[in-house]
C-alpha cells in the first residue's frame, strides 16, 4: 500500500511538474514568437521634479501585447524570460525601441528627456553588453547621455568587482546609471561607495509604507529619511518610486528628495500620450532666442 501510495504521489508530482514545464515552454515559445511578431511594446513613466511637477526623465517599461492574452505586464514574463534566457533577445530590442522612440519624438519637434532602461541581471552578466549597446546607439543616432540604465541592487551586488568594471565602462561612455529597488538587498555600503552610479531609486515598498500619514509610521519614515541621507552623503540623486499620495510627495520633498515617480503624477503611458507632456523644441529655441535678445 505504502508503495502504491508512494507511486501515486510520485505520479501526481510528476504530472504537476509536467504541466508546469509545459506551461513554461509554451510561454517561452509564445514570447519568442511574440518578438518576431512585434508584440512587445514600451510604455513610459515620467519621473518628475517633486517641487515643480516638471518631467525630469522617463522610465521605459516593457509590455507584451499578446493576441489572446491581452496586455501582459512585465512582472508576469520578465522573471521567466530571465530564467530561459529569452531576455537576452528581448533586452536589445527594448533598447532599440527606446532609441527609435527618442528619435521619433525629436523628429516630431519635441524635446526628448533622458530615458531610463531596465537591465536585468542576466543581461548585465552577458559578455559584450557595452559594445552591443554602443552599436545600437550609433545605428539609431542617439547619444549615450540620453540613456540611463537601471540595474537592481540585488543584481549589482551579485558580483561586485565585475559590476564595478562594467559600470565604469558604461560611465566612461557617457551613460547614466541608477540602482533600482534600492534598500531591498542589504548591500554593503562599502560597495555602494565604489559603484560609479549617479542615482539610487528608493524601492516603492518603502514609499508605500509611509501610507497617507508618514507621521503615523515613524519607523518607515526613518528608513526613507536614512536612504535620502545616504544618497546625499554619497553625492547621488535620490529617486522615489511608487509615489501615490500628496502626503508622500510632501514628506519626500521636506526631507531632501528631489525626484519621484508614481501614480500620483502619471502611470506608465504609451509614447503618444507622453508626447503631449513634452515641451516642443522650437518653443525652447524661441525662448532662448528671446532671452538672448532682451
Task: List residues near ligand C2E by CB under 6 A.
Answer: 45, 60-62, 73-75, 78, 94, 118, 120, 150, 180-181, 204, 241-244, 261-263, 268
**Residue 118: CB minimum distance to Mg ion, A:** 5
* Partner whose binding site includes residue 14, from Mg ion, ligand C2E, none (CB under 5 to 8 Å by kind): none
Q: Residue 6: CA atoms inside 13 Å, Cβ hemisphere, count?
A: 3
C-alpha grid cell, residue 229 = 541621507
Q: What is the largest CA-CA distance in the chain?
A: 96
* Partner whose binding site includes residue 196, from Mg ion, ligand C2E, none (CB under 5 to 8 Å by kind): none
Select the residue whose beta carbon is closest to ligand C2E and give its number.
262
Distance, in Å, from the CA atom of 177 to the CA atom of 171, rounded to the nearest integer, reads 7
C-alpha grid cell, residue 254 = 521636506
* Partner whose binding site includes residue 78, from ligand C2E, Mg ion, none (CB under 5 to 8 Å by kind): ligand C2E
Among residues 30 and 147, whose Cβ is nearest to Mg ion? 147
**Residue 142: CB minimum distance to ligand C2E, A:** 16
3-state secondary structure of 71: strand
3-state secondary structure of 158: coil
**Residue 50: CB minimum distance to Mg ion, A:** 17
C-alpha grid cell, residue 52 = 515643480
The answer to whether 247 and 240 have CB atoms below 8 angstroms apart is no
Scan for cell 525662448, then name that residue: 287
**Residue 185: CB minimum distance to Mg ion, A:** 12
Interface contacts to Mg ion, rule CB under 5 A: 118, 150, 180-181, 241
**Residue 98: CB minimum distance to ligand C2E, A:** 9
* Partner whose binding site includes residue 262, from ligand C2E, Mg ion, none (CB under 5 to 8 Å by kind): ligand C2E
Scan for cell 526631507, then name that residue: 255
Distance, in Å, from the CA atom of 187 to the CA atom of 138, rounded to the nearest integer, reads 35
* Partner whose binding site includes residue 245, from Mg ion, ligand C2E, none (CB under 5 to 8 Å by kind): none
Amino acid at each position: 500500500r505504502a508503495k502504491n501510495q508512494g507511486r501515486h504521489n510520485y505520479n501526481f508530482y510528476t504530472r504537476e511538474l509536467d504541466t508546469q514545464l509545459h506551461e513554461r515552454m509554451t510561454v517561452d515559445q509564445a514570447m519568442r514568437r511574440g518578438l518576431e511578431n512585434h508584440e512587445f511594446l514600451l510604455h513610459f513613466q515620467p519621473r518628475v521634479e517633486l517641487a515643480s511637477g516638471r518631467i525630469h526623465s522617463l522610465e521605459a517599461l516593457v509590455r507584451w501585447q499578446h493576441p489572446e492574452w491581452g496586455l501582459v505586464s512585465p512582472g508576469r514574463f520578465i522573471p521567466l524570460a530571465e530564467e530561459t534566457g529569452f531576455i537576452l533577445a528581448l533586452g536589445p530590442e527594448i533598447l532599440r525601441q527606446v532609441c527609435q522612440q527618442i528619435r521619433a519624438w525629436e523628429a516630431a519637434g519635441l524635446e526628448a528627456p533622458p530615458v531610463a532602461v531596465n537591465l536585468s541581471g542576466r543581461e548585465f552578466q552577458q559578455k559584450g553588453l557595452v559594445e552591443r549597446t554602443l552599436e545600437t546607439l550609433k545605428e539609431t543616432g542617439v547619444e549615450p547621455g540620453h540613456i540611463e540604465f537601471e540595474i537592481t541592487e540585488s543584481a549589482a551586488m551579485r558580483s561586485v568587482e565585475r559590476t564595478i568594471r562594467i559600470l565604469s565602462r558604461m560611465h566612461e561612455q557617457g551613460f547614466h546609471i541608477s540602482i533600482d529597488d534600492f534598500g531591498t538587498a542589504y548591500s554593503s555600503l562599502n560597495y555602494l561607495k565604489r559603484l560609479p552610479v549617479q542615482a539610487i531609486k528608493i524601492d516603492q515598498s518603502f514609499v508605500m509604507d509611509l501610507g497617507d500619514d508618514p507621521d503615523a509610521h515613524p519607523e518607515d519614515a526613518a528608513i526613507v529619511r536614512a536612504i535620502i541621507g545616504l544618497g546625499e552623503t554619497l553625492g547621488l540623486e535620490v529617486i522615489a518610486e511608487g509615489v501615490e499620495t500628496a502626503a508622500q510627495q510632501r514628506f519626500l520633498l521636506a526631507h531632501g528628495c528631489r525626484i519621484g515617480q508614481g501614480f500620483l503624477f502619471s502611470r506608465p503611458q504609451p509614447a503618444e500620450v507622453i508626447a503631449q507632456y513634452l515641451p516642443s523644441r522650437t518653443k525652447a529655441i524661441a525662448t532662448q532666442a528671446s532671452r538672448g535678445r532682451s
